[in-house]
Structure 1
Amino acid sequence: MIKKPVTIKKNMAMEDRPVAHLVQEASQVYIEMEDKKINAKSIMGMMSLSLQEGEDITVVAEGKDEKEAVAGVEGFLTTRK
């Protein structure tokens, strides 16, 4: 299992489009924020976090592709578009 702290650098707002793109990156990945742990494949769960630019989260992944999964989610959350 890998846990990696990430600071969000993308304006996620409450739009569903960025969250839908994030869910496509996820593979056995969870987002931890404060006392919540959300499956990154759950669009509703991810939207419930209301992620904002500048917030710190932890990306958690398990499995043989965990390094690639964490890198993909981190890249998505830290690349401004």
Structure 2
Amino acid sequence: MMEFKYTITDSEGIHARPAGMLVKQAAGYKSDIKITKGEKSADAKRIFGVMGLGTKAGEEITVTADGEDEETAVSELEVFFKENL
């Protein structure tokens, strides 16, 4: 299992457009991808879970990948977050 932490910089937080892009990106990996904010956790491959976290600008999340392509997933998702959120 691998993970990274990221502080959301998008002024609107994780809103519909980037959430949809994130789900599409996460769905491309065989690993289980989870996003955790505080006590809440969501499957990054499910749009309602990602949106349900209600992540706002300035909040820190932890992204975790567990599976056969976890290293690639964490590396590429970290880039995704920096470019889109």
TM-score by length of structure 2 reads 0.79
Which letter maps to 2:80? F
- Quote the offset at 1:48 in angstroms: 0.8
Q: In structure 2, what is the Cα distance between the partners aligned to 1:68 and 1:49?
A: 24
- Against the structure 1 CA distance between its residues 11 and 73, is the aligned structure 2 distance closer, same or farther, given a 3 Å change threshold? farther
- Against the structure 1 CA distance between its residues 9 and 78, is the aligned structure 2 distance closer, same or farther, given a 3 Å change threshold? farther
User: What CA RMSD, in Å, does the superposition of the two structures yield over aligned residues?
Assistant: 2.0
Contact 1:9 1:79 survives alignment (8 Å)? no
Task: Report 1:1-81 matches (<5 A).
Answer: 1-13=1-13, 15-26=15-26, 27=29, 28-80=32-84
Which letter maps to 2:54? S
- Against the structure 1 CA distance between its residues 68 and 9, is the aligned structure 2 distance closer, same or farther, given a 3 Å change threshold? farther
Instruction: Structure 2: state its 5+ residue gaps.
Output: none
Q: Work out the percentage of aligned pairs sharing the same amino acid.
A: 36
TM-score by length of structure 1 reads 0.82
- How many correspondences in the alignment? 81
